[in-house]
């Protein structure tokens, strides 16, 4: 079975520009996660979706970050406007359900903000 | 709140020698614990998980970990390191209650280097 797909793999933008990341989870996985991984750190959860509903977005900086999963399948994470401190790897993961099922991770999108 | 502490940011071993990556956890509940591995430019991969069954958990690629409640530890071991084991390893605890149940909390990672 195909794994979690993310695009683009790399993105370089100027500060104050918008940027979007796309994620297609494993087929049949109802739960989708977006994580932020800073250099030398472990991933930190940004948002969790159960189907199309964002059930945990407590760690998402809502002033500049937004996410959607309109049909309960693929998802987009957006930053507008980007700041220098947003340079990081953005990881997407999916699982059949939440509550302890194994999460499968995509390769991530490495964002560089100049 | 749950948390994990990885005691070493970098571990270096010679090929063929044992590997020990240390992790302590903090949890008010009986935790679910995981080890993930991240190779450069690849996605995180689950090595093994503990969910209150056997305290000695066997994973992929010859890795295993032992859950020790008295020491609040979940150290990762492998009897003999291989060059392909060089990667970043993350100890992870799963949130156990409420709306965050199932959310993963990662440690800061341990970079494993394997010398020929």
Q: Give chain A's contact residues with B (Cβ, < 8 Å).
A: 3-4, 31, 40-45, 48, 55-56, 58, 91, 93, 95, 98-108
Q: Is the pLDDT of residue B99 over 70?
A: no
Distance (Å) from the alpha carbon of A100 to chain B's nearest alpha carbon: 5
Per residue in A52-104, pLDDT (tens digit) is: 999 999 999 999 999 999 888 999 999 999 999 999 999 999 998 777 678 99
What value does the mean pLDDT take over residues B38-64? Answer: 90
Q: Residue B42: its chain A contacts at CB < 8 A?
A: 107
Q: Residue B46: its chain A contacts at CB < 8 A?
A: 102-103
Per-residue confidence (pLDDT) for residue B51, from 0 to 100 = 82
Q: Is the pLDDT of residue B96 over 80?
A: no
Q: Which two tokens stand for residue B4?
A: 């994990």
Per-residue confidence (pLDDT) for residue A1, from 0 to 100 = 66
- The Cα–Cα gap between A101 and B62 comes to 22
Phi, psi angles (nearest 5°) of residue A84: -55, -40
Per residue in B17-40, pLDDT (tens digit) is: 999 999 999 987 778 899 999 998
Q: Which of B42, B101, B106 sits opposite A43 (nearest CB)?
A: B106
- Asked if B86 is an interface residue toward chain A (Cβ–Cβ < 8 A), one would say no
Per residue in A40-54, pLDDT (tens digit) is: 899 999 999 999 999
**Residue entry with tokens 């935790």:** B31
The residue ranking higher by pLDDT, B41 or A31, is A31
* DSSP string over B34-100: EEEEE-TTS--EEEEEE-SS-SEEE-GGG-EEEEETTTTEEEEEESS--GGG-EEEEEEEE--SGGG
Q: Is the pLDDT of residue B95 over 90?
A: no
Q: Which two tokens stand for residue A57?
A: 């977005």
What value does the mean pLDDT take over residues B69-93? Answer: 96
Q: Which of A3, A42, A48 sits opposite B109 (nearest CB)?
A: A42
Q: Residue B43: its chain A contacts at CB < 8 A?
A: 3-4, 91, 104-108
B43·A3 Cβ contact <8 A: yes
Per-residue confidence (pLDDT) for residue B40, from 0 to 100 = 85
The residue ranking higher by pLDDT, B52 or B112, is B112
Best A43, A58, A108 member to test B by mutation, with max B CBs in 10 Å, is: A43
Closest residue in B to A106 (Cα–Cα): B43
- Asked if B106 is an interface residue toward chain A (Cβ–Cβ < 8 A), one would say yes
């Amino acid at each position: 079975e195909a794994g979690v797909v993310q695009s683009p793999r790399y993105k370089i933008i100027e500060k104050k520009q918008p940027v979007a990341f796309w994620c297609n989870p494993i087929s049949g996985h109802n739960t989708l996660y977006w994580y932020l991984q800073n250099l030398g750190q472990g991933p930190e959860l940004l948002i969790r979706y159960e189907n199309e509903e964002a059930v945990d977005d407590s760690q998402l900086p809502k002033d500049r970050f937004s996410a959607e999963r309109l049909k309960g399948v693929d998802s987009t994470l957006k930053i507008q406007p980007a700041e220098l401190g947003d340079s990081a790897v953005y990881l997407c993961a999916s699982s059949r359900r939440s509550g302890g099922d194994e999460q499968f991770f995509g390769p991530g999108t490495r964002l560089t903000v100049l | 709140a749950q948390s994990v502490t990885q005691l070493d940011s970098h571990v270096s071993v010679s090929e063929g020698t044992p590997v020990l990556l240390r992790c302590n956890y903090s949890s008010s509940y009986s935790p679910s614990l995981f080890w993930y591995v991240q190779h450069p430019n690849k996605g995180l991969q689950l090595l093994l998980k503990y969910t209150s069954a056997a305290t000695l958990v066997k994973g992929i690629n010859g890795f295993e970990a032992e859950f020790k409640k008295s020491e609040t530890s979940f150290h990762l071991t492998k009897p003999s390191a291989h060059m392909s084991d060089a990667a970043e390893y993350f100890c992870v605890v799963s949130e156990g209650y409420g709306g965050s149940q199932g959310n993963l909390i990662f440690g800061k990672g341990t970079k494993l280097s394997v010398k020929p």
